[in-house]
Amino acid sequence: MNPDQNSNTGNVFGMIGLGTMGRSLLLNIADSGFAVAGYDKDTLKVDALKQEGAPYQVEGFASLPDFVNSLKKPRAIMMLVPAGPIVDSVVEEVLPLLDQGDILIDGGNSHFTDTTRRDTALEAKGFHFFGMGISGGEEGARRGPSMMPGGDIEAYEIVRPILEAVAARVNNEPCVTYIGPGAAGHFVKMVHNGIEYGLMQLIAETYEILRKGLQMDNASIHRLFAQWNEGRLQSYLLEITRDIFAFKEPGTESFLIDDIYDVARSKGTGKWTSQVAMDLELPVPTIDVAVAMRDLSKYKELRVKADALYTVEQPNRFATERRDKTLQYLEQAFYFSMITTYAQGMHLLAKASAAYGYQLQLDQIAKIWRGGCIIRAAFLEDIYTAYQQNKELPHLLLDPYIKGLVQETAPGMREVVAAAALSGVATPAFAATLSYFDNFRNGSMPSNLIQAQRDFFGAHTYEVIGREGIFVHSAWLPDALD
């Protein structure tokens, strides 16, 4: 339905939604030498794009038809708008303006089930659609994000040169790769965010130990994180945390961190990860705790009341131990927990791949997470190597090299969790991570008792050792007790 005048000329990439992420990514693409167009209903955002895009081949539009007509066919259009119904309304609005064969990319944090639905509906109408997770925040979008495209591979191949040109690079390789069919890209991005929640919670608990257990001030915390970030804990999240502990608003003397209200918010991707993990019966307790603690933080009034009501019965263990030894334990505890959090996330990816037919290659996912994204870390190199050496590795903690790291850091982890428990310093993610590990390496869990109880009160049956697969029931009461 569109004039053909632009079929061979025009902008090679279009962006719908010129918020921070959309504008930054579009400018990044323009920076790589591509002619691009951006659309937003908000003329202020269009003007901002035109202004910043002045040195490049960038056009800005507040009219959707004009935007669509400015694009070369087959058109490649990315939507970067808030996840949920807005994506559907944008699709509805733009679809009548497109031609069959045009490509629509959802670059937001859409729920993977929405992506599956859109993928099926748009394919049936003859359009190419793919969902792509993008990580790295504003800076990543502008300078090089990590991107997780999934779905229509034909469409991906068309835009691949553009995506590879703008992605972050590690060892000169782009942090983007085709993830898998259907909603695989958005699924992997969701799990990325689940891991992000887990790591952020672990860092927050480390801060809690440092300030309340070891009574360290912000400047010392800054120095410690700076030192850690030079070693094996090196990661983007630790790097920004280091900087947070040095930051004072211009013209003020106080650290900004001390003025921030202790209620954490979220857009939902962490919760989705936990929900899906429960549906798949695949435990990710570090992520679950991270979601739960953001929720608990919202009950500020109750927390303040309870704070006034209770006291810790014992002296602070951290104060009586040697500080440098404690910090050494803490470094080990953090590394142990970081490894285990990634391990939970990778395990979930493996399970989802089998359940949903995503054909995920875990080595490739680790590879593109090494740069550009929020969970980038030196440790991803080890994850990449582990899955490269054994593509069928059933769990990261079973890799021989990773095993060595875990074994070496476990003593510090135990010291920290024990001291925190005795001192009344809340470390739910550390504790959950350690318990996950201790049961993961437990060849005889007490689950036999759960089965006995279930059979006792509900005749739910149980299996007997050596006769697995055969379910039997016992008459537990009353005669059995005599």
Gap between the Cα atoms of 482 and 479, Å rounded: 6
Using only C-alpha atoms, the chain has a radius of gyration, in whole angstroms, of 26
**Residue type for 164, please?**
E
Gap between the Cα atoms of 140 and 240, Å rounded: 13
Of residues 136, 185, 213, 412, which one binds ligand 6PG by CB under 6 A?
Answer: 136
Under 8 Å between Cβ of 334 and 202? yes
Q: Which helix (H) or strand (E) holds 353?
A: helix 323-356
Q: Which is nearer to ligand 6PG, 46 or 141 (CB)?
A: 141
Sign of CA dihedral 336, 341, 347, 353: negative
Q: Which is nearer to ligand 6PG, 15 or 214 (CB)?
A: 15
Give the phi and the psi of residue 236 in degrees, each rounded to 5.
-60, -45
Q: Which entry of 59, 196, 331, 415 is annotated as an active-site residue?
A: 196
Chain-centre distance of CA 260, in angstroms? 23
Q: Which of residues 440-479 bind ligand 6PG (CB under 6 A)?
A: none
Among left, alpha and beta (phi > 0; psi -120 to 50; other), residue 461 is left
Under 8 Å between Cβ of 356 and 180? no
Of residues 19, 65, 84, 137, which one binds ligand 6PG by CB under 6 A?
Answer: 137
Number of residues that bind ligand 6PG (CB under 6 A): 12
Helix (H, G, I), strand (E, B) or coil at 176: strand
User: Applying CB under 6 A, which part among 170-178, 214-222, 229-237, 262-270 lies near ligand 6PG?
Assistant: 262-270
Under 8 Å between Cβ of 109 and 19? no
Two structure tokens written together for 111: 């729920």
Q: Which helix (H) or strand (E) holds 134?
A: strand 128-135
Q: Which is nearer to ligand 6PG, 192 or 347 (CB)?
A: 192
Question: From the CB of 273, what's the least distance to ligand 6PG, in Å?
Answer: 10
User: Applying CB under 6 A, which part among 54-62, 217-225, 261-269, 443-451 lies near ligand 6PG?
Assistant: 261-269
* Residue that the structure tokens 């659609």 belong to: 129
Two structure tokens written together for 235: 């990661």
91 binds ligand 6PG (CB under 6 A): no
Instruction: Say whether 267 is catalytic.
Output: no
Q: Which is nearer to ligand 6PG, 177 or 409 (CB)?
A: 177
Under 8 Å between Cβ of 152 and 118? no
Q: Tell me the pairing of strands 128-135 and 146-151.
A: antiparallel
Gap between the Cα atoms of 242 and 229, Å rounded: 8
Q: Which is nearer to ligand 6PG, 135 or 433 (CB)?
A: 135
String marking each residue 99-118 x if it binds ligand 6PG according to CB under 6 A: ----------x---------
Instruction: Say whether 196 is catalytic.
Output: yes
Question: From the CB of 435, what's the least distance to ligand 6PG, in Å?
Answer: 25
Two structure tokens written together for 301: 């009034």
Closest CA to 245 of 213, 206, 286, 217: 217
Q: Which of residues 163-222 bind ligand 6PG (CB under 6 A)?
A: 193, 196
User: Applying CB under 6 A, which part among 74-82, 134-142, 254-262, 312-320 lies near ligand 6PG?
Assistant: 134-142
Q: Which entry of 41, 73, 125, 189 is annotated as an active-site residue?
A: 189
Gap between the Cα atoms of 289 and 277, Å rounded: 13
Contacts of 481 (CB under 8 A, 6+ apart): none
Q: Which is nearer to ligand 6PG, 110 or 269 (CB)?
A: 269
Question: From the CB of 108, what's the least distance to ligand 6PG, in Å?
Answer: 9
Two structure tokens written together for 256: 């900004």
Of residues 11, 218, 235, 269, which one binds ligand 6PG by CB under 6 A?
Answer: 269
Question: From the CB of 463, what's the least distance to ligand 6PG, in Å?
Answer: 41
User: Applying CB under 6 A, which part among 11-19, 263-271, 364-372, 400-408 lies near ligand 6PG?
Assistant: 263-271
User: Applying CB under 6 A, which part among 44-52, 118-126, 266-274, 285-293 lies near ligand 6PG?
Assistant: 266-274
Question: From the CB of 31, what's the least distance to ligand 6PG, in Å?
Answer: 19
Question: From the CB of 473, what's the least distance to ligand 6PG, in Å?
Answer: 45
Q: Which is nearer to ligand 6PG, 83 or 410 (CB)?
A: 83
Q: Which of residues 369-428 bind ligand 6PG (CB under 6 A)?
A: 373-374
Give me the residues paired with residue 134 across strands: 147
String marking each residue 318-357 x if it binds ligand 6PG according to CB under 6 A: ----------------------------------------
Give the phi and the psi of residue 243 in degrees, each rounded to 5.
-70, -35
Question: From the CB of 328, what's the least distance to ligand 6PG, in Å?
Answer: 31
Q: Which is nearer to ligand 6PG, 112 or 462 (CB)?
A: 112
Gap between the terminal Cα atoms of the chain: 85
Which positions lie near ligand 6PG, rule CB under 6 A?
109, 135-137, 193, 196, 266-267, 269-270, 373-374
- Residues annotated as catalytic are 189, 196
